[in-house]
Amino acid sequence: MGSDLLYVSSISYIDAIFGCKITIPTIEGSQLNINVPPGTQPNTRLRVPNRGMLLPVGDKRGHMYVQLQVNIPTNLDDDKKKILENWRDEK
């Protein structure tokens, strides 16, 4: 657990609803593509095995966790607001 890493990434509410791919940096300096599943909730943590820090003994690694913050818009234009209100009313 002491060799695990946490990376926080922000996604839009649309990406949280429909899913998406994000690119995150790794401790080695490379980039890693992560699939965000449809229906992702705020503060969901995705586990990326063996991408954390090296363990003190041996050549094993901890895990990287990607915590997803969902950005909720605070100022929608009237058209987008109407679309979302109609969608809400359908439920």
Please tell me the predicted confidence (pLDDT) of residue 55: 86
Residue recorded with tokens 């790794």: 26
- The answer, yes or no, to whether residue 85 has pLDDT greater than 80, is yes
- The answer, yes or no, to whether residue 91 has pLDDT greater than 80, is no
- The answer, yes or no, to whether residue 87 has pLDDT greater than 90, is no
- The answer, yes or no, to whether residue 80 has pLDDT greater than 80, is yes
Give CA 24 to chain center in angstroms: 9
More confident residue, 59 or 52: 52
Helix (H, G, I), strand (E, B) or coil at 72: coil
pTM comes to: 0.85
pLDDT, mean of residues 25-43: 96
